[in-house]
Amino acid sequence: DIVMTQTPLSLSVTPGQPASISCKSSQSLLYSDAKTYLYWYLQKPGQAPKLLIYEASSRFSGVPNRFGGSGSGTDFTLKIGRVEAEDAGVYYCMQSVERPYTFGQGTRLEVK
Amino acid sequence: EVRLEESGGGLIGPGRSLRLSCRTSGFAFGESALTWFRQAPGQGLQWVGFIGSKTFGGTIEYAASVRGRFTLSRNDSGSVAYLQMSSLKTEDTAVYFCSRGYRGGRASPDYWGQGALVTVSS
């Protein structure tokens, strides 16, 4: 199985400041169709994960443009341009280049 | 609007069986793959299994931890997917989520249901 490693595991950010989360995979997430199957989700307490970024760098419908994904191969980053209170929760990266899909451990973002 | 809703969770004894349903609306169910995940209390997310669209071959795959005990199925006419869980163990205690796989993205999950809690305990 592909191992996904997120850092940091927790983050405390003041509103208006940027935030960045790293995700590394144990093998390349580039598929033969030239797409990179890396996803970012945000899960708030008691809720299902919600998709933020798909295929490494595309924002999902309705996601604010302060969220941005980048990276290729095995190294990826989620950046939040200016954190807002509503961004608090646990962020997960996930790969779907092969099954079983696997997740990073999650990064808990606290908005101070 | 894409919607998925799980039901059928509850408290069940070890060794017993339980079936979860995932009722959907707002998208072409028959052309869509579905993936099930679970999340044990206070833990991260775990892939449980995948059921592809019959239109594209109907592949079914399971995580090693549930293979042989869990069965995925779907009723395309009713836009419902099922997760039949047998020989349940205490370590199967978790919130179970179903999700839709979007086309063009190797059926990677975009929309998720709100989850159903399954507690396996004597």
Task: Tell me how far apart the alpha carbons of residues B95 and B118 are, in angstroms, rounded to a whole number.
Answer: 6
Task: Tell me how far apart the alpha carbons of residues A66 and B84 are, in angstroms, rounded to a whole number.
Answer: 41
Residue found by looking up tokens 């790293």 in the block: A22
Convert the pLDDT of each residue in A79-89 to its tens digit: 999 999 999 99
Convert the pLDDT of each residue in B2-41 to its tens digit: 999 999 999 999 999 999 999 999 999 999 999 999 999 9
Chain B residues bordering chain A (beta-carbon distance below 8 Å): 35, 44-47, 50, 61, 63-64, 97, 102, 105-115
Question: Nearest Cα to B83, choosing from B55, B48, B122?
Answer: B48
Convert the pLDDT of each residue in A21-73 to its tens digit: 999 999 999 999 999 999 999 999 999 999 999 999 999 999 999 999 999 99
Of A60, A100, A102, the CB nearest to B110: A60
CB count within 10 Å of CB B56 equals 12
**pLDDT recorded at residue B107:** 87
Contact list in B for residue A60 (CB cut-off 8 A) is: 110
Convert the pLDDT of each residue in B66-109 to its tens digit: 999 999 999 999 999 999 999 999 999 999 999 999 887 888 99
